[in-house]
A and B are shown apart, each in its own frame.
Chain A
Amino acid sequence: MITCVDINIKQGEFTLTDVNFKVNKGSYMVLMGKTGCGKTTIMESICGLRKIKSGAIWLNGKEITTLMPAKREIGYVPQDGALFKNMTIAENIGFALRLRKWSKQDIKERVAQLASDLGITYLLKREAHDLSGGERQRVALARALSFYPDVLCLDEPLSALDEHTKDDMLDLLKTLKKNLNITILHVTHSKDEAIKLADHVLKFEDGHVKELMPTEL
């Protein structure tokens, strides 16, 4: 469970005041709003990549407001995937496990399993460049899921994809939601994605947030 209490963020001209919300374990929360409304900023704060001015962030009953990103155990998929260009796809997916000193054999098995779950086994030996948008997102997802995180943060995962690929990814995300008992935060400006995926929607408007059901959109 993620709890955000009275979060204030100031970043140049942009401010976000008194943001309060809660995401239950295993629930799928879509963060929605116009470009520049602060939805990505909140997600980065939860991941520990951005400092907040005041407030507190709790994860499973533990305060993580000032904890290093590495200690939060949150999987993060940025918009463009941001695959490590100096590694193969298999090395990308296994990176977090290498840091956790898993044995070579265990890493290989975990990577193979993730790759088959996400339909990217054929990519494993390739280098990170010259992948299509959909392939990049799948690899980034596999990498973020590799270390069994409690929370998965997706920053506009479908926005750069063509219609056909987008439908495939929507199905994939639905499957993940059903099969893994993981809390998912998903940033988007698309109402369609919210209706298809969300259990709850957090709507960002004029520096404030409002919690809605997908049916209320």
Chain B
Amino acid sequence: MMGVVASTYIILILAMMLADLSYTTTGHILEALQSKEIQYAIKLSLITCTITMVLSVLVAIPLGYFMARFEFRFKKVIDAVLDIPIVLPPLVIGLSLLILFQTAPGQFIESHVRITYTVYSVIIAQFMVACAFAVRTMYVTFIQINNRQEQVALTLGCNQRQSFFYILLPQAKNGILTAASLAWARALGEFGPILIFSGATRMRTEVLPTTVFLEMSVGNIEAAVAVSLIMILSGFAVLLIVRLFGDKNTAL
């Protein structure tokens, strides 16, 4: 009985993928790939996801380090704050960002660099969610590494900075890779916040999820499925990287 329940879910996941595959043909995918708009969306998705990934890792490493290694007041509160982007509905994040850039400080920034409805807003919307996942991953990575090694390094002549760079960071290599892949995958799938904060303008703020949405809304299901498949494949590639390197990390 339990076996049936458990396997139903797994079969459902695989059936979804198979259905996508059977719905589309290589012809459809090639056609989709030849569209100027979709080419732009692929390019924008790749560029923004990569920038978001780099930013997320750069923020997640120091933040995860402080959370894992230091005790300070209101640590529990900050820990909860870091979960907000994970539990908040994505649309609400987009709306909140939109409103943030309507406030006085937001408007001040807008008067210098236009953010809302531009490529910058795509990156910010992706970053707000993806970074939370990267921070969680780095937090867990650092906390799993016993700080005894860093303490020994301190007695051997290291300062805090050296013990971080010589001892802790090299051992967090796999965790960093996992955090980066997760951030990249989250960013690739991000849609809600981008729709609200960046709009869905073709050749401007159109990323791959936007393409799926736009093609669906005009009834062009074949193109939508073709683009979905591109995303499924890149998602699989990321999962593969996380599995290959992530497990080694927890085994250490």
Please report A residues at the B interface, Cβ cutoff 8 Å: 47-49, 68-70, 72, 74-76, 78, 80, 82-86, 95-96, 99-100, 140, 143-144, 146-147
- Tell me, in angstroms, the Cα distance from A146 to B156 when the chains sit together: 9
B170 an interface residue at 8 Å Cβ cutoff? yes
B146 an interface residue at 8 Å Cβ cutoff? yes
The answer to whether A82 touches B146 (Cβ under 8 A) is: yes
9-residue interface stretch from B157-165, B189-197, B221-229 = B157-165
- Assuming A49-B154, A78-B148, A82-B152, what are 20 further A-B pairs, CB within 8 angstroms? A47-B151, A49-B151, A68-B154, A69-B155, A70-B158, A70-B159, A75-B155, A76-B152, A78-B151, A78-B152, A82-B149, A82-B151, A83-B149, A85-B252, A86-B171, A95-B153, A140-B152, A143-B152, A143-B156, A144-B155
Residues of B near A76 (CB, < 8 A) are: 151-152, 155
B167 an interface residue at 8 Å Cβ cutoff? yes
Q: Which of B157, B166, B171, B252 sits near A70, CB closer than 8 Å?
A: B157
Minimum CB–CB distance for B162 against chain A, Å = 7
Q: Which of A78, A80, A83, A95 sits near B156, CB closer than 8 Å?
A: A95
Q: Which of B152, B153, B158, B166 has the most CB of A within 10 A?
A: B152
Chain B residues 131 to 178 lying within 8 A of chain A, measured CB to CB, are: 146, 148-149, 151-159, 162, 166-167, 170-171
Residues of B near A144 (CB, < 8 A) are: 152, 155-156
Minimum CB–CB distance for A166 against chain B, Å = 21
- Tell me, in angstroms, the Cα distance from A80 to B162 when the chains sit together: 22
A–B complex contacts, Cβ < 8 Å, 10 sampled: A68-B154, A70-B154, A74-B155, A82-B146, A84-B152, A84-B153, A95-B156, A96-B156, A100-B157, A147-B156
Secondary structure dominating the interface of B? helix
Closest residue of chain A to B159, judged by CB? A70
Residues of B near A70 (CB, < 8 A) are: 154-159
Closest residue of chain B to A129, judged by CB? B252
Residues of A near B159 (CB, < 8 A) are: 68, 70
- Known A84-B167, A85-B171; contact A48-B157, beta-carbon cutoff 8 A: no
Residues of B near A75 (CB, < 8 A) are: 155
Q: Which of A70, A85, A99 has the most CB of B within 10 A?
A: A70
Minimum CB–CB distance for B158 against chain A, Å = 6
Minimum CB–CB distance for A152 against chain B, Å = 11
- Known A85-B252, A86-B167; contact A80-B148, beta-carbon cutoff 8 A: yes
Closest residue of chain A to B156, judged by CB? A96
The answer to whether B170 touches A99 (Cβ under 8 A) is: no
Minimum CB–CB distance for A67 against chain B, Å = 12
Q: Which of A68, A86, A144 has the most CB of B within 10 A?
A: A86
The answer to whether A99 touches B171 (Cβ under 8 A) is: no
The answer to whether B148 touches A96 (Cβ under 8 A) is: no
Closest residue of chain A to B163, judged by CB? A70
Residues of A near B153 (CB, < 8 A) are: 84, 95
The answer to whether A147 touches B151 (Cβ under 8 A) is: no
Residues of B near A49 (CB, < 8 A) are: 151, 154-155
